[in-house]
């Protein structure tokens, strides 16, 4: 299947919500995407389209570090969703790879996410604690980080990743 990767536009909002609702079996992730767009916290929103139909979506949004590290900017990847019937065909991999490349080009220092280590390790994600990062969403193996530049070494002291309040408002995902 041929898919094109492009930046999401406002006209894609309903299709993006449908993708996440189908991929996750509930509306929380679609609602989260909508709220993050509405509050201007989105760094990058990518769609994968097949013959004009949105079949997958990946979102990158701002996070902050506490205590603040001047000049250091990290983002969160998630949610990412692919229509169930099209999963395991490399579409999600293409979205993540393209998104990471764009974030790197835009000068972000790193990316955090909550996800399956077996899947995300292929992109270079490691436990976030390797970067001295912690979060309110737990510090287990699902909380992962990726430095986007060679200088994105582990922070010198422990920092807490603060996700946008929309993550909590959207409900459990």
pLDDT tens digits, one per residue of 126-137:
999 998 899 988
Q: Domains in the chain, start-ordered, CATH in brackets?
A: 4-169 (3.40.630.30)
pLDDT per residue over 34-63, tens digit each?
A: 999 999 999 999 999 999 999 999 999 999
pLDDT at 138 (0 to 100): 76
- pLDDT by residue (tens digit) across 86-107? 899 999 999 999 999 999 999 9
Query: Is the Cα dihedral 126, 97, 76, 62 positive or negative?
Result: positive
pLDDT at 156: 65
Residue 48's nearest CA partner among 84, 12, 6 is: 6
Query: Is the per-residue pLDDT at 71 higher than 90?
Result: no
Residue 30 has pLDDT above 70, yes or no: yes
3-state secondary structure of 33: helix
Helix (H) or strand (E) holding 44: strand 42-50
pLDDT at 72 over 90: no
Average pLDDT, the chain: 90
Its pTM surpasses 0.85: yes
């Amino acid at each position: 299947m041929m898919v094109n990767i492009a930046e999401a536009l406002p006209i894609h909002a309903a299709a993006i919500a449908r993708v996440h609702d189908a991929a996750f079996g509930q509306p929380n992730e679609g609602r989260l995407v909508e709220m993050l767009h509405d509050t201007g916290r989105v760094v990058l929103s990518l769609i994968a389209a097949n013959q004009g139909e949105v079949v997958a979506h990946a979102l990158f949004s701002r996070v902050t570090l506490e205590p603040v590290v001047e000049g250091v900017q990290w983002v969160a990847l998630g949610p990412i969703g692919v229509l169930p019937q099209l999963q395991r065909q490399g579409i999600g991999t293409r979205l993540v790879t393209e998104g990471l490349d764009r974030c790197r080009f835009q000068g972000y220092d790193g990316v955090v996410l909550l996800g399956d280590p077996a899947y995300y390790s292929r992109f270079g994600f490691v436990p976030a604690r390797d970067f001295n990062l912690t979060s309110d969403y737990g510090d287990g193996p699902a909380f992962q980080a990726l430095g986007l530049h060679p200088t994105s070494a582990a922070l010198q002291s422990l920092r807490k990743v603060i996700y946008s309040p929309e993550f909590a408002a959207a409900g459990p995902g």
